[in-house]
């Protein structure tokens, strides 16, 4: 579906945006890829990294600027991948208004512009921190998920469709603990907040692959969740810094011991497919749409009381698998 298509990526100069662009160009022949972001230096660096590929367009803009978002969306676009966000938990806790402006108001601008400009498909990236959130970042992403799913109702009779993708911590992305541990091991001491901590783990390549799949099968209204392995933080320490001392600092404000990808309440309307779980919306407009597609009729409903959490997961990474994933 990506051949001869125009795809716009918000936050396109970020870790995900660059990997998405690379894999898109390697596998398909898109007509145009529009990189929407607010940092001209990162756009310049990305342009050089991609050897001035003529299929790339770099559009400077901020999601908070409604008029600029409309201008970016005014060209003929087939798919929007909404990856832009303020996502550093401590920064969002300290600057809550800024997080709301970007993650919530910016998301609303994307929804309105997509509907008014007639863009067929929009995929919004979310996070496990949106489930039972205890920090502001997670709360803004939960709010954004609700906006994008209900955006299908606002679209009315128009053809614009919105879906979300929710996954865990990305190995090696900006803000990941992996580069932190690599820097700290030079000092002989690494810091860990709590030795009991567990996380879902996914590589950038896997995240992009999953978004590719979701964009192709989406009907509009789903939240797609990949099957992911869990890892223990102390196993990661043993892989990256096995000879270092560990200093325990205590859980930071807004930090969880374990992450959840699907809550018990969401499990009641979730189906399991071969390689993913799909949360189906509980709105009247979905009933009619679901009757028109057989995409999820073969899915297995999750058992009552299921909670897809990193500490109760049935798939755990060994140290050797972790070593391979982080490139140690």
Tokens 């990941």 correspond to 176
Dist. CA 292–CA 277, nearest whole Å: 20
CA distances 289 to 153, 157, 205, 210, 219, Å, are 11, 12, 31, 23, 8
Angle between helices 233-240 and 177-184 in degrees, nearest 10: 40
Spatial neighbors of 25 by CB under 8 A, at least 6 apart, are: 33, 50, 53, 55
Length of the chain in terms of residues written: 328
Which pair of tokens denotes residue 75?
């060209």
Report the sign of the C-alpha dihedral through residues 13, 14, 19, 21, in that order: negative
Indicate the DSSP class of residue 302: P
From CA 230, how far away is CA 315, in angstroms rounded? Answer: 6
Complete DSSP assignment for 154-191: HHTTS--EEEEEEE-EETTSTT-HHHHHHHHTTTTEEE
State the residue for tokens 């982080």.
326
Q: How far apart are CA 4 and CA 291, in angstroms?
A: 30
Question: What distance in Å separates the CA atoms of residue 95 and residue 266, rounded to the nearest whole number?
Answer: 30
Phi, psi of 182, deg, nearest 5: -65, -35
Query: Does 129 qualify as catalytic in the annotation?
Result: yes
Q: Which of 129, 158, 256, 288 is catalytic?
A: 129
Query: Which residue's structure tokens are 């692959």?
Result: 209
Residues designated catalytic: 129
């Amino acid at each position: 579906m990506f051949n001869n298509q125009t795809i716009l990526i918000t936050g396109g100069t970020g870790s995900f945006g660059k990997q998405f662009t690379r894999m898109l160009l390697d596998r398909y022949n898109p007509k145009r890829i529009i990189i929407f972001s607010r940092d001209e230096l990162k756009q310049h660096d990305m342009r050089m990294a991609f050897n001035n590929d003529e299929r790339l367009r770099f559009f400077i803009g901020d999601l908070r600027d409604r008029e600029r978002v409309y201008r970016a969306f005014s060209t003929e676009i087939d798919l929007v991948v909404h990856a832009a966000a303020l996502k550093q938990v401590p920064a969002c806790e300290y600057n809550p208004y800024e997080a709301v402006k970007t993650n919530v108001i910016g998301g609303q601008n994307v929804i309105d512009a997509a509907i008014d400009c007639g863009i067929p498909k929009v995929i919004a990236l979310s996070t496990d921190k949106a489930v039972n959130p205890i920090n502001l970042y997670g709360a803004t992403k939960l709010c954004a998920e609700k906006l994008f799913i209900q955006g299908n109702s606002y679209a009315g009779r128009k053809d614009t469709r919105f879906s979300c993708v929710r996954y865990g911590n990305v190995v090696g992305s900006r803000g990941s603990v992996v580069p932190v541990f690599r820097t700290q091991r030079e000092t002989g001491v690494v810091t860990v907040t709590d030795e009991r901590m567990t996380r879902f783990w996914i590589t950038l390549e896997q995240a992009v692959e999953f978004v590719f799949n979701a964009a192709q099968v989406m009907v509009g209204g789903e939240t797609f969740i990949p099957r992911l392995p869990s890892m223990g933080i102390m196993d990661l320490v043993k892989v990256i810094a096995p000879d270092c001392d560990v200093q325990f600092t205590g859980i930071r404000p807004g930090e969880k011991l374990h992450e959840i990808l699907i809550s018990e309440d969401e499990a009641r309307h979730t189906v399991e497919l071969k390689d993913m779980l799909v949360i189906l919306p509980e709105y009247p407009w979905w009933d009619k749409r679901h009757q028109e597609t057989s995409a999820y009729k073969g899915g297995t409903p999750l058992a009552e009381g299921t909670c897809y959490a990193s500490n109760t997961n049935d798939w755990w990474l060994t140290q050797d698998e972790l070593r391979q994933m982080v490139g140690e």
